[in-house]
Amino acid sequence: MARPVILFSGGWADLPLGELAPQAAEWGYQGLDLACWGDHLEVQRALSEDDYAPAKLALLAGLELTAPVVSCHRVSQAVCDPIDERHQDLLPDYVWGDGDPAGVRRRAAEEVVASARAAQKLGAAVLGGFSGSPVWSAVAGYPPPRPARLADALREFARAWRPILDACQECGLRYALEIHPGQIAFDLYSAEAALDALDGRPEFGFTLDPSHLHWIGVDPVEFVRRFPDRIFHVHIKDCVVRLNGRTSLFCSYLPYGDARRGWDVRSPGRGGVDWEAVIRALNEAGYDGALAVEWRDPGMSREYGAEEACRFVKRLDFEPAPPRDGGPAFR
C-alpha cells in the first residue's frame, strides 16, 4: 500500500531536527512523526513565532519529507496522572512549575491543547500521545481499588480529556492515544472502557504499537478487528518475550537491555510480533495512515537499526487486493 513510512522522532530528541531529518531521508523515510520535545517541535514557539512552523515545513520539504503526525507523549502523560517527581523529567519547566499536582495537571492539559494548535500549523492530521491514568497503580498491584474507584477514574479521565478533544475537533485533528502501560487504556477491554467513557466521540482513537500488546498477551490483530475505525496511528516497534523460569514479565526493576528481563524491545522484525498478520489486519480495516517506526533496541546501533527498519517496513507493506469481487480463478 502507498502508506508513508515515517520515523517517530521521539527517540532522537538529543539530535536537533536539522541533523535528524537528513539522516531520516537518507535511510529512506518519507516523513516524520514529530515529537513535541527537544527542538523537533517547540510548541510555544510554533504558536508565538509566525515563521517557526513554516521553517520546519521547509526544512522537511527540502528533503521530501512530510509530517503527518505530531506527538505529545511526555506532556500528555501528566493530564490525569497522580503527579510525582518522575513527571518533572518529562515536562518543560513552564508546565511543571511548582510541581503542585493539580496545577501540573491543568498546565499539562493546556500544553496538549497548544500542541494540537501547533500540529495544525504543521498541517498534521493526527496528534499522538498518552493520557495518564488516575488508577494505574491498581491495575496489576495491591491493594485493589474499590469498584467505585474505577468508575470514578474513568469519569475523571473523560472530564480531563473532553476539552482537549474539543480543541482537536476545532483544529481538524484526531487524537491517537497510544495503548501503553501507565495509560487509562492499555489492553483491549480497557480501550473499550476508555472509548465508552468518552461516549465514542469521533476525535478519539488509538495509536497501535504492537510491542506493548505482545508481552501482555493481546494479539494486535484482535485489537485492530475490535476497533477498525479507531486506529488513527501505528507505531512499528517489536518486542521479544524470553521467559526461562527465572525472568518475569514484570522485569524485576531491570532496565531495557538487561538479559534478566522477561521481555525487551527490539528493532522491527527481530522480535515476536507477527507483522504479516498485523499488516493484513490493517489492510482489512482500511487503515491508510502512516507507519511510523519507533526505533528502540537496546542491543543494536540506532543508526544501523533505523535504516534496516525502514527497509523492513517498506517490504512489509505489500499492495493489498482490490476490494473483494466474486473471487478469481478455477474455483
Pick out residues in 254-283 that bind a second copy (CB under 8 A): 254-257, 259-260, 262, 270, 276-277, 280-281, 283
Interface stretch with a second copy, choices 17-25, 50-58, 165-173, 242-250 (CB under 8 A): 242-250
- Binding test (CB under 8 A) with a second copy, winner from 140, 159, 163, 196: 140
Q: Find the shortest distance in angstroms from Cβ 217 to a second copy.
A: 4
Say whether residue 35 binds a second copy (CB under 8 A). yes
What is the rounded distance in angstroms from the CA atom of residue 331 to the CA atom of residue 328?
7
What is the rounded distance in angstroms from the CA atom of residue 135 to the CA atom of residue 9?
29
- Binding test (CB under 8 A) with a second copy, winner from 20, 205, 247, 287: 247
Q: Are 264 and 257 in contact (CB under 8 A)?
A: yes
Q: Are 136 and 182 in contact (CB under 8 A)?
A: yes
Say whether residue 101 binds a second copy (CB under 8 A). no
Closer CB to a second copy, residue 89 or residue 93? 89
Query: Which distant-in-sequence residues (6+ apart) come within 8 Å of 3 by Cβ?
Result: 287, 288, 289, 290, 291, 317
What is the rounded distance in angstroms from the CA atom of residue 239 to the CA atom of residue 320?
26
- Binding test (CB under 8 A) with a second copy, winner from 66, 77, 115, 120: 77
Q: 79: closest CA among 137, 139, 158? A: 158
Say whether residue 328 binds a second copy (CB under 8 A). yes
Interface stretch with a second copy, choices 49-57, 60-68, 118-126, 210-218 (CB under 8 A): 210-218
Q: Find the shortest distance in angstroms from Cβ 100 to a second copy.
A: 17
Site for a second copy in 175-204 (CB under 8 A): 180-183, 186-190, 193
Q: Find the shortest distance in angstroms from Cβ 50 to a second copy.
A: 28
Q: Find the shortest distance in angstroms from Cβ 166 to a second copy.
A: 25
- Binding test (CB under 8 A) with a second copy, winner from 2, 102, 199, 246: 246
What is the rounded distance in angstroms from the CA atom of residue 290 to the CA atom of residue 157?
27
Query: Which distant-in-sequence residues (6+ apart) come within 8 Å of 239 by Cβ?
Result: 210, 211, 212, 214, 215, 263, 264, 265, 266, 271, 272, 273
What is the rounded distance in angstroms from the CA atom of residue 292 to the CA atom of residue 31?
9
Closer CB to a second copy, residue 37 or residue 161? 37
Half-sphere exposure of 5 (CA within 13 A, CB side): 27
Say whether residue 253 binds a second copy (CB under 8 A). yes
